Amino acid sequence: MALIVHKYGGTSMGSVERIKNVARRVAKWQKAGHQVVVVPSAMSGETNRLLGLAKEISERADPRELDQIASTGEQVSVGLLAIALQSIGAKAKSYTGWQVPVKTDSAYTKARIESIDDSRVRKDLNDGYVVVITGFQGIDGNNNITTLGRGGSDTSAVAVAAALKAEECLIYTDVDGVYTTDPRIVPEAKRLEKVTFEEMLEMASLGSKVLQIRSVEFAGKYKVKTRVLSSLTDPDIPLAEEANSGTLITYEEDETMEQAVISGIAFNRDEAKITVAGVPDKPGIAYKILGPVASANIDVDMIIQNVSHDGLTDFSFTVHRNELEKALEVLKAKVQPDIQAKSITGAKDICKVSVVGIGMRSHVGIASQMFETLSKEGINIQMISTSEIKISVVIDDKYMELAVRALHKAFGLES
């Protein structure tokens, strides 16, 4: 007997029929003798619908109220799933984040989990209940409801698994594992049986939305055994078969693993580029531009400074698209009076494409192969950044799919 956490995403919870299937799957695990905690997301489309309502009233809604609204999608899901479980004879009880409680900081719409009280959940498990806990939400020190950012139910599930010291966290989703790239963009993408924690962390941070980045960070910090697998198989398939399906995140580099140099291609359309053109090229300029941006709590990703002409240079960086307007306001109000740039402009028509693989550490020439592939397709590279196990480029958004397909092929990732 083991304690297992299941997480089901929006599509997996997308209809009453699907919720009934989730209940059957969960009941199968419980009947096999396991204690099960389930963390579902809101039904697909629901979080967008809720946030859309707020947006109809105000483009700049108070983040506290947005969390108040967005968190309700998950509350409906846990109740429905508990009823579905009860209706097939399983004892089940649902909880929202504040009831557990799942404590977070107060960063509305992107809160971080600080602690999870496991006492109530443990008692219920010992009394034979399946415990269903809302994904995506928590409560701050002043009893305000918070949410963990889009896709945050993954993080809830892994954090719950860590708090309960669960044997495994199973992330059930609408694909049957982690692929070499998004199978919606490249149908030839191949499922990975295993992926190292480091690679998964890079892929998630670079835009592979199959797992929220913070869930991978949590998994790594607490060494939570985590597997991504399909919720769309027949819920009655043998448990042993299900338990070994999908993609396992591993924490040791396995010598016997057939190690490809590149394990995946990620892309991200959520960033925007800001260019501060015609600024004096002298010490302190990067700080003058980025200091106020950081003080406004805006994350900066890629940065590039061009060679200077006549003592002037252009400075570009990327931020999340949702923060573009805010960043431009900060620059115009707090930076421009000081630096007197020729222009400050924002562009949303960019995307970031990255190749990821721990095999890169021992191989040279990956960057040049990447640049050659893009150049053969006539795709201009606007920015580049590298780490030990990834290379990212910013390109024109309209070439995103072309670039991903070409790179997937060039690095031999097809099945």
Alpha helices in 312-391 (DSSP H): 324-330, 336-339, 366-376
For ligand ASP, the binding residues in 64-103 under the rule CB under 6 A are: 73
Q: Is residue 168 within 8 Å of residue 133, measured between CB atoms?
A: no
* Region of residue 297 (phi > 0: left; psi between -120 and 50: alpha; otherwise: beta): left
Sign of torsion over alpha carbons 402, 406, 409, 412: negative
Among positions 135, 138, 246, 264, the unique one binding ligand ASP when judged by CB under 6 A: 135
Nearer to ligand ADP, 44 or 75 (CB): 44
Nearer to ligand ADP, 182 or 323 (CB): 182
Give the separation between CA 161 and CA 4, rounded to whole angstroms.
8
- CB of 30 closer than 8 Å to CB of 130: yes
Tell whether residue 49 is a contact of ligand ADP (CB under 6 A). no
List 4, 5, 6, 10, residue binding ligand ASP (CB under 6 A): 10
The one of Mg ion, ligand ASP, ligand ADP, none whose footprint includes residue 136, by CB under 5 to 8 A per kind, is: ligand ASP
| Residue least distant from Mg ion (Cβ) | 151
Site for ligand ADP in 253-282 (CB under 6 A): 264
Alpha carbon of 244 to those of 92, 160, 237, 240: distances in Å? 26, 21, 12, 7
Which CB, 93 or 214, lies closer to ligand ADP? 214
Nearer Cβ to ligand ADP (124/176): 176
Contacts of 202 (CB under 8 A, 6+ apart): 266, 354, 356, 387, 389, 390
Is the distance from CB of 351 to CB of 395 less than 8 angstroms? yes
Per CB under 6 A, which of residues 191..220 are in contact with ligand ADP? 208-210
Q: Rule CB under 6 A: say whether 10 interacts with ligand ADP.
A: yes
The correct pick among 136, 179, 197, 317 for binding ligand ASP (CB under 6 A) is 136
| Residue 174 touching ligand ADP (CB under 6 A) | yes
In the block, which residue shows the tokens 């040791």? 252
Selected from 12, 21, 318, 354, the binder of ligand ADP by CB under 6 A is 12
Name the residue nearer to Mg ion (CB basis): 151 or 357.
151
- Position 184 contacts ligand ADP (CB under 6 A): yes
Query: In sequence order, which ranges of 152-224 are alpha helices (DSSP H)?
Result: 153-163, 197-205, 213-222
Which residues contact ligand ADP (rule: CB under 6 A)?
9-12, 41, 151, 173-175, 178-179, 181-184, 208-210, 264
Q: Which residues of this protein are in contact with ligand ASP, per CB under 6 A?
A: 9-10, 41-42, 47, 73, 135-136, 150-154
